[in-house]
Structure 1
Amino acid sequence: MRVHDQRLRFDVTDKPMGLTGSSFITARSIAVLLFVSLSLLILPPFLPPLPPPPVTFLLLPLILMILLIFLAFSPSNEPSLAVESLYP
């Protein structure tokens, strides 16, 4: 009778953090965030005020939220997969 060693093995390597090509935060993304932030601060006093949106546009987020809640609590058609323990 053969017994297999089924322990998990993890390879832990140090990855450099910083503004590299593999990082999510780059100089370009920081520049875009600064540009958008400054435009939100500077442009509103110079732009004319907008009229209020129609009522149907105001109901759109409410309708989307109701749809998402309905989908979250509706049962799926997928069969349930029971997971059994390998060890007694």
Structure 2
Amino acid sequence: MRVHNQRLRFDITPKPMSLTGSSLITARSVAVLLFVSLLLLILPPFLPPLPPPPATLLLVPLLLMILLIFLAFSPSNEPSLSVEPLDP
């Protein structure tokens, strides 16, 4: 068994954020968020109240949470991968 004193190098250079069309927060997204929030504030007093959902429909989030917890703690079938440096 040989021990290598080489380090793996990853070239990670951050790219500068530009304020052109590739920005994550644009004026359009801010306008849509403001419009939706105003609708959520204005419409509920004018809309009629809805009846409560059926009891079986209320179990859907609980079943989804149980499924996600089960998947989080179940072992994966993928083998463990180890990274070894390449010899020059």
> Which TM class, normalised by the smaller chain length?
0.7 to 0.9
CA RMSD after TM alignment: 2.7
1:62 aligns to 2:56 (yes or no): no
Higher relative contact order (CA 8 A, sep 6+): 2
1:42 aligns to 2:23 (yes or no): no
Gaps of 5+ in 2: 1-5
Kindly provide the amino acid, as one letter, of the partner of residue 43 in structure 2.
L
Q: Aligned runs of 1:1-88 on 2, under 5 Å?
A: 7-11=9-13, 15-16=16-17, 18=19, 20-83=20-83
Percent of matched pairs sharing the same residue: 73
| TM-score normalised by L of structure 1 | 0.75
- Residue 57 of structure 2 aligns to a residue whose secondary structure is helix
What displacement does 1:54 show? 0.5
Task: Measure the CA separation in 2 of the matches of 1:75 and 1:42.
Answer: 48
